[in-house]
Structure 1
Amino acid sequence: MSLNENSTYTLADGTDIRALPKVSLHDHLDGGLRPETVLELADGIGLELPADDPVALGAWFAEKSNSGSLVEYLKTFDITTAVMQTREGLTRVAREFVQDLGADGVVYGEIRWAPEQHLTRGLTLDETVEAVQEGLEQGIEDVRADGGRIRVGQLVSAMRHTDRSLEIAELAVRHRDRGAVGFDIAGPEAGFPPSNHKAAFDYLAAQFFPATVHAGEADGLESIRGALLDGRALRLGHGVRLAEDITIERQDDENTYVTLGTLSQWVKDREIALETSPTSNLQTGAIAAWGNDILDHPFDLLYQLGFRVTVNTDNRLMSGTTLTRELSILADAFSYDLTDLEIFQLNAAAGAFLPIEQREELAEIITAGFEGS
């Protein structure tokens, strides 16, 4: 059974959020394992775990992830990556990943992961990508067999604290016609700027291969600036600290008056998508400057100001969440209705790393699904 499969999330008008067509742009493969799968794969390699049943293990991941620190949050991935070092493990995790997206109403998903973290048992970089792609394709067939529809692509990521980014960029481009749709850098943000990976981003630009960059999560405006200038990012992974470049001048009962800085104005005017992940942003302290409650999240401010905000899960296992749940949390906090949720999905469709014709087709699927709800 996938995470939160039996939970019900509805809007104020009774609309079942799970049944709505959704787009997922920021979802880590090694952060979306089922607890029972972690247990079974760990048993096969003799890996000791902090709990021996799925419920307790899921609770352990959630507890350890709720630290207020991205560095501490990332430590939980030592376990998930450890069970994803074989072709069989990677393929199974990828297959179940797509099954769970399909069960959550996702019609298009981009799955990000770092091949360089899956080489300890003899796989080559290309073999890891092929193993994940095999699982993704199996998952797509499973969703279709259940009467659903889904399309997925790989966001091949390099770890920003290592020196393999050019090699990983070349790997992503090699697989651009075999599942890879984009590139990312992930891992600890502060102290590891995109400028460290200039050769990789230069290569990607020369190959016209799109990149999204984690920025504005554990570091501030300079990190976002580096993602745009050095990384040529077409989207910002999280990007919530862009709100530091927005000055609230005054508020009254009906309006908030703000001034945008040069950086935030650029992101807004260029319609650069922000890949926000509300629960994760709370867990990692990304919104600590504004508070520690979902109502403090700058998501609504960014949305009301016209930024291209999107809603994502980041890591479903660590955050104990689904895309349906994230949308429900925001709807409850900010009184969003069906129209708002549709805008978030259309924003994500517009930001997807797909050809324009396929983005337009995706938008039509979303519109038709929301109209029929």
Structure 2
Amino acid sequence: MGRMTLSETSRRTPSLEEIIEIPKVVLHDHLDGGLRPETIIELAAQIGYTLPSTDVEGLRTWFVEAADSGSLPRYLETFDHTIAVMQTAEALERVARESVLDLAADGVVYAEQRWAPEQHLREGLSLQDAVEAVGRGLEAGEQEAAAAGRPIVTRQLVTAMRHADRSDEIAALTIANRGKHRVIGFDIAGAELGFPASNHASAFDALHRAYVPATVHAGEADGVSSIADALHAGRALRLGHGVRVIEDMTGVEDVMAKRSKADLRDVGLGPVAAWVRDRRVTMELCPSSNVQTGGATSVRDHPITLLKNLGFAVTVNTDNRLMSGTSMSREMHLLVTEADWSLDDLLAVTLTAAWAAFIPLDERQEVVENLIVPRTTAIREERQNA
């Protein structure tokens, strides 16, 4: 058989094995949503905490089934168990280190881990203690992954819970630690409906004055008004999820049903959707998680494909690897097998994510040039020679 042309190489459906080797960037991955079940069991035993199951596979299944409810509040309840075992510096450091190793093993070369220090103070840790522990864990994980031939760059996003009243304090914590302990930005998370970003306007103002970037969970459990609030009050540079931006668009039902790029001209953008697309506000989309919480009926019908085709700054993310039973490779494989994505699509969203990272531009360039481009080139050459 002769060599395939470059166009044929791009069209051939990538296999799961190829997808695992694709260099990946994850911007939306919750540290407390990605624990290894065996680690949860060990940490729970140390503190006498009762879990739904002490069998590794049984606990893994419980998390996925409990999260697979179609309700964001019910989904968030699963975090009671992970947070319970993450209340000491040693536990936080271990969880962060293992998270880095798991991501690196999946081909991730850059990851931002988000988590809420205010939820980890029950055993006497200070907010600063918690941030430093996670920073140590990320650093240790990076060193171990590099030694195993899987280099990865990791940073932490400090999160405030939107239903609480500590956002000013958490914003100050973020500002004080910017550039230290791998802290690079701020997020708000938790139950979205009824808790708009504008409730935390003073925190976002302080971050903006200090030139600290923010991402905001919006457009997941609430609609277009929540996204608008994140853009205005939250000054969001990225949207956590943002999937419901399609509610500010017309003609999407027919286009999504036909799955034809030729019909994209029939889609109309409202002012919020147009701003998100035209200003290149990065969308941290999480297909499997959105299916679980009712944001989409399936990966095939998830708006991510439409948004990508319309030119939005789309990225693919895991959200919570434990609760969704997922990984970056699995998310990408689902998009390939269910939504007809190509290798070029996967590589394009990876570069979008890399350039949207909150690290400085020169560091982004290093990630792209040293960790993404060489692997990408090698994958293309292997496919062409196959």
TM-score by length of 2: 0.91
Partner residue of 1:147 out of 141, 146, 149:
149
1:148-181 superposed Cα distances (whole Å, 9 cap, x missing partner): 1111111000000000001001101111121111
Per-residue CA distance 1:213-255 (angstroms, 9 max, x = gap):
0000000000000000000000000000001111117657662
Equivalent in the alignment of 1:301? 306
Q: Aligned letter for 2:372?
A: I
Q: What secondary structure, in the 3-state scheme, does the structure 2 residue paired with 1:208 have?
A: coil
Shift of 1:367: 2.6
> Deviation per CA, 1:72-128, whole angstroms, max 9, x where unpaired?
000000000000001111011011010101101111100000000000000000000
Q: Sequence identity of aligned pairs in percent?
A: 54
What residue is the counterpart of 1:3 in the other structure?
Answer: none
1:194–1:227 CA contact under 8 A, matched in 2? yes
* Counterpart secondary structure, 1:294: coil
8 Å Cα contact 1:342-1:366 kept in structure 2: no
Of 104-113 and 13-22, the range deviating more from structure 2: 13-22
For 1:6, the equivalent position in structure 2 comes to none
Indicate conservation of the 8 Å contact 1:342/1:367, yes or no. no
Runs of 4+ residues over 4 Å off in structure 1: 249-254
More off after superposition, 20-29 vs 349-358: 349-358
Structure (1 or 2) with the greater helix fraction: 2
Whether the 8 Å contact between 1:22 and 1:106 is mirrored in structure 2 is yes
CA separation in 2, counterparts of 1:344 and 1:160? Answer: 29
1:324 aligns with 2:325: no
Cα distance in 1 for partners of 2:335, 2:299 equals 8
Name the CA distance, whole Å, in 1 between partners of 2:350 and 2:137.
Answer: 25
Q: Which runs of 5+ in 1 are unaligned?
A: 1-10
Show the counterpart of 1:255. Answer: 262
Which of 19, 38, 41 is equivalent to 2:40?
Answer: 38
Give me the whole-angstrom Cα distance separating, in 1, the residues matched to 2:98 and 2:14. 32
Does structure 2 retain, via aligned residues, the 8 Å contact 1:23–1:109? yes
Q: Assess if the C-alpha contact under 8 Å between 2:14 and 2:336 holds in 1.
A: no
- Which residue does 1:58 correspond to in 2? 60
Structure 2 contact 188–217 (Cα < 8 Å) conserved: yes
Query: Following TM superposition, by how much is the alpha carbon of 1:361 offset from its aligned partner in structure 2, in angstroms?
Result: 2.5
For the 8 Å contact 1:113–1:157, the answer to whether it is kept is: yes
Alignment of 1:231-242 (within 5 A): 231-242=234-245
1:28-177 to 2 correspondences below 5 Å: 28-177=30-179
**What is the rounded CA distance, in whole Å, between the counterparts of 1:133 and 1:368 in structure 2?**
28
1:194 corresponds to which of 171, 180, 197: 197
How far has the Cα of 1:13 moved from its partner? 4.3
Query: What is residue 8 of structure 1 aligned with on the other side?
Result: none
AA paired with 2:360? P
Q: Which amino acid aligns with 1:181?
A: I
Match of 2:319 among 299, 314, 318: 314
Q: Aligned equivalents of 1:142 and 1:27: distance in 2? A: 20
State the one-letter code of the partner of 1:207: A
| Secondary structure in 1 matching 2:267 | strand
Aligned length: 359
Kept after mapping to 2: 8 A contact 1:181/1:354:
yes
Q: Which amino acid aligns with 2:251?
A: I
AA paired with 2:37?
P
In structure 2, the residue corresponding to 1:155 is in which secondary structure?
strand
Partner of 1:5: none
1:18 partner letter: I
Tell me, which stretches of 5 or more residues in structure 2 are unaligned?
1-11, 380-386
Once the two structures are TM-superposed, the CA of residue 333 in structure 1 deviates from its matched residue by 1.4
**SS in structure 2 opposite 1:148?**
coil
Query: CA separation in 2, counterparts of 1:282 and 1:334?
Result: 14
Q: Deviation per CA, 1:273-313, whole angstroms, max 9, x where unpaired?
A: 100000000001123xxxx2222211111010000100000
- Equivalent of 1:229, from 227, 232, 254? 232
Instruction: Tell me, yes or no, if structure 1 residue 349 matches structure 2 residue 358.
Output: no
Shift of 1:40: 0.2
Per the TM alignment, residue 187 of structure 1 is displaced from its structure 2 partner at its CA by: 0.2
Helix, strand or coil for the counterpart of 1:275? strand
Structure 2 CA distance for aligned equivalents of residues 106 and 125 of structure 1? 28
Q: 1:214 aligns with which of 207, 214, 217?
A: 217
SS of 2:251's equivalent in the other structure is strand
Contact 2:248 2:269 in 1 (8 A): yes
Q: TM-score, normalised by structure 1?
A: 0.94
Shift of 1:360: 2.3
Deviation at 1:12, TM superposition (A): 2.3
Decide which moves more: 156-165 or 295-304: 295-304
